[in-house]
Amino acid sequence: MSLAYYYDFMSQPSRALYIILKMSGVQFEDCPVALRNGEHLTEEFKTNINRFQKVPCIIDDGFKLAESIAVLRYLSAKGKIPEYLYPKYFVEQARVDEFLEWQHITLRITCALYFRTIWLEPLLSGKRPSPEKVETLKAHMELNLDIVENVWLESTDFLCGNQMTVADIFAACEIEQTRMADYDVRIKHPKIRAWLKRVRAACNPHYDHAHQYVYKISGTAPNSKL
Amino acid sequence: MSLAYYYDFMSQPSRALYIILKMSGVQFEDCPVALRNGEHLTEEFKTNINRFQKVPCIIDDGFKLAESIAVLRYLSAKGKIPEYLYPKYFVEQARVDEFLEWQHITLRITCALYFRTIWLEPLLSGKRPSPEKVETLKAHMELNLDIVENVWLESTDFLCGNQMTVADIFAACEIEQTRMADYDVRIKHPKIRAWLKRVRAACNPHYDHAHQYVYKISGTAPNSKL
């Protein structure tokens, strides 16, 4: 096979792209990268796989490409992603792009920082963050969850209309990450709660497969949690 | 004219998109929004212009679209952006997309946070940040400037090859913002210094026009600084 996919299920965009590849029926060489073991930090990885030393990334017939959304667009241009997941008509595509560009420094960064500070950093350093820091990070995250709840999901079943797209998959994978930091998004956000159920149902069995470690680490059985 | 462009020259992506529109010869209705006066925070702006209450954004024949990169891609799909600025061939476009997706939570967020904390917040609150906070933010920013210097500009004149693209324009506008916080990127980053000169030369007179307030506030005369 010509397409190699490098990923770690502990990485939110890695899960999103994995689910999208599976739903699209794209054949790929499965290349898991154990971030916990620093497999992305070697010179060999930097030289031969991804100069930014991150996942996810692909090598497609020798063409190395990083950044999940750039990869998605590249594969869409190659005709590998079905139109219902990422529209080809430019006006509909713009609406999905609007979310994909919006989420980086809003939903993604605040959910990821919450997860890192509450779960990952204490694991690595043995030190717990101060309650004030936790509250500040939670407030920033909830501000963006409120925008998902009240603006993106204002009047539609999914983020960019009544059809699920890649935007929903990227967003759900970011929000699921906070489970591991013992955050339950469903308490304050009933629309997100119902939407997450719809996204999971539309993406399974790939959604549960990609989230297996999230479920395990958070100790949440998906059938009761979603 | 059917395309209305809402922007503020104090906003980095607003400047980038303005320069791109001007270089592309796109006709648009000029709609400056004074962020300093909270013009984006009104209910009227939220309802009629941008539900996220940010700039830049467009209204194109009634189609409202936010997020600078989504707007760029939409206008490119409409044939409004010349191919040398944003390639149409999907492999070359993927390389530019890789940068546009990379920069959000790396170069953009760290330069913007440095600017906000050192320049904007003291102006609004009257309180200066602690020296420790400044050092931490500077270290995060310089980590990403190092990646621009050593990886993106490793062996080419511009970020995505030897031809300037929109990637360079977005990146330059982020880096220029730090001038206002009295940061001089050129001291530690000789490749960025030379590259900024090339980007400015390729984009003028639009580059200097969009940066007029950056130059004024930072007290730097562009001919001597670049």
> Could you read off the pLDDT of B76-88 as tens digits, one per residue?
999 999 999 999 9
> What's the gap in Å between the CA of B222 and the closest CA on chain A?
30
> What's the gap in Å between the CA of B183 and the closest CA on chain A?
22
Strand partners, B161: B158
pLDDT at A224 over 60: no
Please answer yes or no on whether B70 and A105 come within 8 Å at the CB atom: no
Please answer yes or no on whether A94 and B68 come within 8 Å at the CB atom: no
Q: Dump pLDDT digits (tens) for A112-151.
A: 999 999 999 999 999 999 999 999 999 999 999 999 999 9
* Residue A94 touches chain B, beta carbons under 8 Å: yes
> What's the gap in Å between the CA of A221 and the closest CA on chain B?
32
Please answer yes or no on whether A97 and B77 come within 8 Å at the CB atom: no
Question: If you average pLDDT over every residue of chain B, what do you get?
Answer: 96
Residue B226's pLDDT is 43
pLDDT at B101 over 90: yes
Residue B16's pLDDT is 98
Residue A220's pLDDT is 84
- Interface with B, mutate which of A89, A101, A146 (most B CBs under 10 A): A101
> What's the gap in Å between the CA of A69 and the closest CA on chain B?
7
What is d(CA A199, CA A15) in angstroms, rounded to the nearest whole number? 13
* Residue B200 touches chain A, beta carbons under 8 Å: no
Token pair listed for B83: 């191919």
pLDDT at A185 over 80: yes
The model's pTM? 0.96
The predicted model gives A63-67 an average pLDDT of 98
Residue A15's pLDDT is 98
Instruction: Determine whether B105 is exposed, middle or buried from the number of CB atoms within 10 Å of its CB (0-12, 13-18, 19+).
Output: middle
Residue B102's pLDDT is 98
Q: Dump pLDDT digits (tens) for A101-111.
A: 999 999 999 99
Topology annotation, domain A3-78: Glutaredoxin (3.40.30)
Per-residue confidence band for B56, with pLDDT thresholds at 50, 70 and 90: very high
Residue A226's pLDDT is 43
pLDDT at B178 over 90: yes
CATH number of A90-218: 1.20.1050.10
Q: Dump pLDDT digits (tens) for B15-41.
A: 999 999 999 999 999 999 999 999 999
DSSP string spanning A109-168? HHHHHHHIIIIIHHHHHSPPPPHHHHHHHHHHHHHHHHHIIIIITSSSSBTTBSS--HHH
Per-residue confidence band for B224, with pLDDT thresholds at 50, 70 and 90: very low
Of A63, A68, A94, the CB nearest to B91: A63
The predicted model gives B138-167 an average pLDDT of 98
What is d(CA A166, CA A15) in angstroms, rounded to the nearest whole number? 12
Rounded to the nearest 10°, the torsion over CA B136, B140, B142, B144 is 180
Q: Which of B104, B129, B132 is nearest to B115 (CA)?
A: B129
Q: Minimal Cα distance from A77: which residue of B?
A: B90
Residue B223's pLDDT is 64
Per-residue confidence band for B189, with pLDDT thresholds at 50, 70 and 90: very high
Q: Where exactly are the structural domains of chain A?
A: 3-78, 90-218
Percent of chain A past pLDDT 90, that is, above it, reads 96
* Residue A157 touches chain B, beta carbons under 8 Å: no
Please answer yes or no on whether A97 and B68 come within 8 Å at the CB atom: no
The predicted model gives B94-120 an average pLDDT of 97
Residue A114's pLDDT is 97
Q: Which of residues 17-56 of B touch A (CB under 8 A)?
A: 51-52
What is d(CA A165, CA B210) in angstroms, rounded to the nearest whole number? 36
Query: Would the CA dihedral through A73, A79, A84, A85 be positive or negative?
Result: negative
Token pair listed for B7: 């922007």
The predicted model gives A43-48 an average pLDDT of 97
What is d(CA B220, CA B226) in angstroms, rounded to the nearest whole number? 9
What is d(CA A81, CA B221) in angstroms, rounded to the nearest whole number? 49
- Interface with A, mutate which of B98, B110, B115, B147 (most A CBs under 10 A): B98
What is d(CA B203, CA B85) in angstroms, rounded to the nearest whole number? 11
Strand partners, A65: A58
Residue A78's pLDDT is 97
